Structure 1
Amino acid sequence: MNKAQLVTKIAEKTNFTKKDSEKVLKATIESIVEALTEGDKVQLSGFGTFEVKNRKARVGRNPKTNEEIQIPEFKQPAFRAGKDLKDIINK
């Protein structure tokens, strides 16, 4: 499912226009991104948790040349599914 299909699905379920549904989706995504940027965790009960994880610097290998390369430390967004979501998917 892509963004346009998701907007259509939201519009059908809420009786909003597609334009309003797209605004709601955009605002939701922006709010989650802002929270993660500020270092906060976003927890949606029954759905899951969005958070930022720190990845330590490490040594990797270039698969073509087998040369060692330094991979710098970086932050990575992560999503952890909640119990209710896992139960629904595994039915």
Structure 2
Amino acid sequence: MNSKEFTGELSRRLGYTNKDAAVLVASLVDIMAQELQESNVLTFQEFGTFEVKKKMERIVVNPVTRQRLLVPPKLSLTFKPCPALKGKVKNEDAQ
């Protein structure tokens, strides 16, 4: 499902116009991005948790040249689905 299909389905279920649903989705994404930039954890019941984690710097070795490289620290966005969502996906897969 792409963004256009998602906003279409959202507008159909909520009784909004496609334009209103697109504004709603864009606002949701903006709010989520702002909260994640502030390193806040976003938890949605029956869905899961979004969190920004900091990966520490580390040393890696190129297997061909055996050259050691320093990988700088970086921020990484993680998502952990809740057990209810995992169960729904597993039940769909079994059918």
Q: TM-score, normalised by structure 2?
A: 0.86
In the alignment, what sits opposite 2:14? 14
Secondary structure at the counterpart of residue 50 of structure 1: strand
Q: CA RMSD in A?
A: 1.5
In the alignment, what sits opposite 1:84? 84
Alignment size in residue pairs = 91
**How many Å apart are 1:64 and its aligned residue?**
6.4
2:46 paired with 1:32: no
2:66 paired with 1:75: no
Secondary structure at the counterpart of residue 80 of structure 1: strand
Structure 2 residues without counterparts, runs of 5 or longer: none
**How many Å apart are 1:70 and its aligned residue?**
1.3
Secondary structure at the counterpart of residue 6 of structure 2: helix
Secondary structure at the counterpart of residue 90 of structure 1: helix
Equivalent-residue separation in structure 1 for 2:30 and 2:21 (angstroms): 14
Percent of aligned pairs sharing the same letter: 24
**How many Å apart are 1:2 and its aligned residue?**
1.3
2:83 paired with 1:52: no
Indicate the structure (1 or 2) with the bigger Cα radius of gyration. 2
**How many Å apart are 1:88 and its aligned residue?**
0.7
Structure 1 residues without counterparts, runs of 5 or longer: none
**How many Å apart are 1:55 and its aligned residue?**
0.4
Secondary structure at the counterpart of residue 5 of structure 1: helix
Equivalent-residue separation in structure 1 for 2:48 and 2:54 (angstroms): 19
Equivalent-residue separation in structure 2 for 1:37 and 1:64 (angstroms): 37
